[in-house]
Chains A and B, each alone.
Chain A
Amino acid sequence: MFSLALKNIFFYKGRSLTTFLLTFVSVFLFIVYVAFMDGAHRSMLKNALDVYTGSLQIYHKEYREKGGYDYLIDDVSKPLGILARTKGLKAYASRLETYGIASSKKHSSAIMLTGVDFDKEAQLSELKKALKKGTYNSKGACVYMGETLAKRLHTDIGEKISFVGSAVDYSFVAELFDVCGIFKTGMYDFDSQSAFMNRRYFDSIFLSEGMATYIVAMADSLGENDKIAAHIADRLPPQLELYTWKTLMHSMVELMKMDSFFGYISMGLFFMVIFFVIMIYGFINVNARMKEFGVLRAIGVSDARVSALLFTEILLLTLAAMALAVPLGAYVAYYFQVHPIIIAGMSDMYKSYGVVSDRVPTLFDPVIIAWNSALVFGLNMLSILYPIRYVRSFTPVEEIHHV
């Protein structure tokens, strides 16, 4: 059966070449397309998580619904202790956020001021890497602010700004701070609204010692995040709730799903056309060989064996095309994962959509490559069903007399 199929493949060169080329194009295109789509999504998400969000956050149960100082975590030691005993976390820290109006000599702007542990943040987020000017790990009445915010306030390193807001007991806070550091992450809202202060001094002004708006942690591997999150959630006090990045970045996750949805629809269109063409060539091929099938069936070859012959032919052609397309597609996916394409100005253009890097890497994932290839393989196998059905609709005598 195998040698007969092989002989037919070489004999019917036109059909074989077309099927081979179309299968090759389908597999290669699908692997590379999905690698770019998933790579761009993962990179966008990873950048957003790495910059500040982390892979999981712990809040007081009602904070995200109601908000305000009434729903702060009032004793961070217990959840921090749980995180300390959890394996698979790269870093974790507590943060306390407050909002107010910051003013320089002539300009004012609304800001989010966050009390942080700068040492821990250096391991947890990109805050340290984002330093543009001045000092990162400042002490005392110092703020570390976003570049766009500094521009809005027309302020620079060494200058003073005032801040008007409220402490956690709702008492009035009006303080003068030095601008000690300026950062740029590329996230537009973040850079235009955020300022950070070392936690010790922050707590002394906002009366927030031992408290936190939330605790943030970053898992060593995003793939393990759900497992780690479930482990921590089981041990948290009942008034606290854990959220993973999937909830925290819900909009971005949905945006990516939507993009993938349209991506797969477009690929579906290509597959549909290619499927039809492969089927047409298969159909033309069996039409031309009708006499051959008639003779085979007349000498006692069963219908199942004839079908098996046609299946073997398409199987061999598909496997041959995949043997070339899969390694090539996988190599392209791997190469551009290691050497991402750089589209200059992309992050600036799409900053409001959370794009913070000009690099567009692919995602090399053997599992994804395997299912991409399996899908094309399956479609190719389906494409021979109609030609087989057509062959079986004739009797051997009709086939022998087929014109």
Chain B
Amino acid sequence: MFKTVAHMAYQNAFLRKSRALLLVLMIGLSMAVMVGLEGLYDGMSQHMIEKTKRSDCGDISLFAPRYRTENSIVYHISNAGKKVALLQGMKGVRDAIWRIESEGLAQTARKSRPARVVGIDVADEEKFGRYSDFLQKGSLEFGKDGAFIGNVLADKLKLLLGSKVIFSMQDSSGQLQSVALRIKAIIHTTNIMLDDRAIYISRQKLNKLLSLPPKSATQIAVLAGDTEVKTLQQHIKKAFPKLDAKRFAALYPQLKQTQQLLDVFNEISFAIVMTVVFIGILGVMYVSVLDRIREFGILLGIGYAYRYIRLQVFLEALFLALAGFVLGSVLGLLFLVYLKYHGLDLSVFSSGMSMFGLDSTIHAVIKPGYFVSTFIAIVTASLLSIFLPLRKIKRLDPIEVIRSIG
């Protein structure tokens, strides 16, 4: 019986071709744009977070107590190399790295800017966060007096590859130290806190300049493996009780907040779109039932069970919705694949996007969840849309209907 009902439902669903086509187009196009936008927004926030983690804080960062409030190298982590080795051996840690940094003044012959010098090891950074991805110009070799510079700071100081810059800072004993550096590379991490202010030199050199013991660090960054970050943070806190272990969300609350805002925005948009889609399906189903009200009356009159009519109407709604879903999935997937590999080129807003920590081309992400949630919403909308038409059928008096024929 189900097969017969399903067959009838399929025939009826696409009986009025123009009407069915409009509905399928509406569902398909709105779904394609909806999942495209979801993928793009998720891509934006993931991109910002992922690059910030790779270029700076990882999933968890460790600091000496008071360093974050006082911002002084007096509060540094000693024997950072040993601590990093211990962290790298810890379960749930994918990688760990240590850095040293200090605030100071960057000066050229004509321009000056407050900046910060970050001591790094290029090989470690490459392993930790694929540092070479951030290279905009030049080569990642410090040499004797080499330094890398954030692209925004380089622009502000009008520095090119090979230009000289003097960096002045206060060492751990309170004395002012200056160092002449030659720009070897321009770095673009899209983390505005670094691109706008950072000059990178070798860790050993900076430790020496700051009169700190070798392998002193201001930050140890940890990338989590499979373990949940919160659990890993607790393990790290236990292992290093004297250090201040902060998660990404605490270090970059604005990025976390932005991601949450985008999620909420996506959910609200999704709810609005699906409500309107529901209204569309409802209208079509209601009219479709009204068109065939005599047919249903006769069927009831000859003893056809109401439950079969209910099933038929539901299947009709479902077939229409699923046709829209299939169209939307195909178009949405094509849209997302294009946006994932080619991206959306917004270089016309490049400096604004850089201010927000974004590349000028945004790449989408593809999550099965986009399609699953849309499928659930569309099936639910189909189910809900038949209540009103079914009520109309349920109230039918078969005798009246048969009498009215002719």
Contacts and interface: CB of A to CB of B under 8 A. Distances in A.
A40 to B, nearest CB: 12
B22 A280 contact: yes
Interface in B10-27: 16, 18-19, 22-23, 25-26
A246 interface: no
Contacts of A288: 287
Given A276-B22, A280-B23, A283-B19, A252 B107 contact: no
Contacts, number: 161
Nearest to A154: B70
Interface stretch (B58-66, B210-218, B308-316, B352-360): B352-360
Nearest to B282: A18
A108 B174 CA distance: 8
A70 B170 contact: no
Given A255-B349, A283-B18, A350 B112 contact: no
A134 interface: no
A107 interface: yes
A110 B103 contact: yes
A202 B40 CA distance: 51
Contact of B114 (A67, A110, A273): A110
Interface of A: 14, 18, 22, 65-70, 98-101, 103, 106-112, 152, 164, 192-193, 250-258, 261-262, 265-266, 268-270, 272-274, 276-277, 279-281, 283-284, 287-288, 349-350, 352-354, 386, 390
**Top 10 A-B pairs ranked by shortest CB distance?**
A254-B352, A68-B110, A99-B112, A110-B105, A255-B352, A276-B26, A110-B114, A108-B170, A258-B349, A67-B111
Contacts of A353: 254, 355-356
B26 A277 contact: yes
Given A100-B105, A280-B283, A352-B193, A250 B351 contact: yes
Interface in B97-112: 103-107, 109-112
Nearest to B115: A110
A254 B33 contact: no
Given A255-B356, A273-B277, A99 B269 contact: no
Given A251-B352, A261-B349, A101 B176 contact: yes
Nearest to B346: A258
A99 B19 contact: no
Given A99-B107, A255-B349, A277-B276, 4 more contacts: A108-B174, A258-B353, A277-B26, A350-B257
A323 B34 CA distance: 30
Contacts of A284: 19, 283-284, 287
A253 B279 CA distance: 39
Contact of B16 (A66, A101, A193, A287): A287
Interface of B: 16, 18-19, 22-23, 25-26, 29-30, 33-34, 37, 41, 71-72, 103-107, 109-115, 158, 168-170, 174, 176, 192-193, 253-254, 257, 265, 269, 272-273, 276-277, 279-280, 283-284, 286-287, 346, 348-356
Contact of B109 (A68, A106, A111, A350): A68
B257 to A, nearest CB: 6
A299 B301 CA distance: 40
A255 B114 contact: no
A390 B72 CA distance: 75
A256 B170 contact: no
8 contacts: A22-B279, A108-B169, A108-B170, A251-B351, A266-B269, A277-B279, A281-B283, A349-B254
B359 to A, nearest CB: 12
A269 B332 CA distance: 13
Contact of B26 (A18, A110, A280, A354): A280
Contact of A349 (B158, B192, B257): B257
